[in-house]
Amino acid sequence: MKLIRLAAIGAAVAAAVVFAGVGRPESASSDTTPPQIARSITVSGSGTVTATPTQAMFGFGVSTRGKTAVQALNDDSAQMRKLIAALEGAGIPAASLQTSSVSLSPVTNNDETAIIGYTASNSVSATITDLSRAGSMVDTAVAAGANQVDGPNLTVSDQSRLYSSALKAAVADARAKADVLASAGGLQVGTVTSIEESGESSPSTYSAAKSADAPTPIAAGTEQITASVTVVFEAS
């Protein structure tokens, strides 16, 4: 009787173990499906917009020499006031004129053992919004006493709008490159996951030559506004 009872207990325990796994499929089998790998295509794109400059900036300066520092500075200041008045009289508004530097330095003899005088310099930047008058403004400044001329720095007045157009072109260029890469790799381009702006460049070209019979000619040339981006696309 004891053997029969022990056998019955063993069978009951085995049945309990079997039924304990019922309703728990995760214990019965393991998932061997590999995780899905995210695919992406990263490309860079650039866009360029070409425009004709609409304004020019010049630097006009005067430099004078005197026996004393006070004399040199006073003479230089008087000459600069004359220059500014001439530029304003030629149509450049006061808001477009800005002093860029004032300097005073001693002048020594050849062996630098003694001060024999002083040199004073003063310069003003002038923004000219009518390029057809840029050459005549240079001549006006020189006639008024400017003995230093720097420029022109030719720019487009609405650079923000042009740069926005260049950015759109850069993104379109990146999309075109992604399409080519995806086609070559047997993929399809999906949505954009990130865009990074890389920077801008705006070189300008110009030429100028002196003519004795006409205002100093200023050739506007062209200015290029360039934008660059890095774009990441989903791929499938």
The half-sphere exposure of 113 on its side-chain side, counting CA atoms within 13 A, is 1
Contact 125, 61 (CB under 8 A): no
Residues 6 or more apart whose CB falls under 8 angstroms from that of 97 comprise: 84, 87, 88, 124, 125, 126
Residue bearing the bigger pLDDT, 148 or 218 = 148
Using CB atoms within 10 A of its CB, is residue 77 exposed (0-12), middle (13-18) or buried (19+)?
middle
Domains defined for the chain, CATH in brackets: 40-52+159-235 (3.30.110.170), 55-154 (3.30.70.2970)
pLDDT range class, residue 18, cuts 50, 70, 90: very low
Q: pLDDT tens, 73-92?
A: 999 999 999 999 999 999 99
Residues 6 or more apart whose CB falls under 8 angstroms from that of 71 comprise: 118
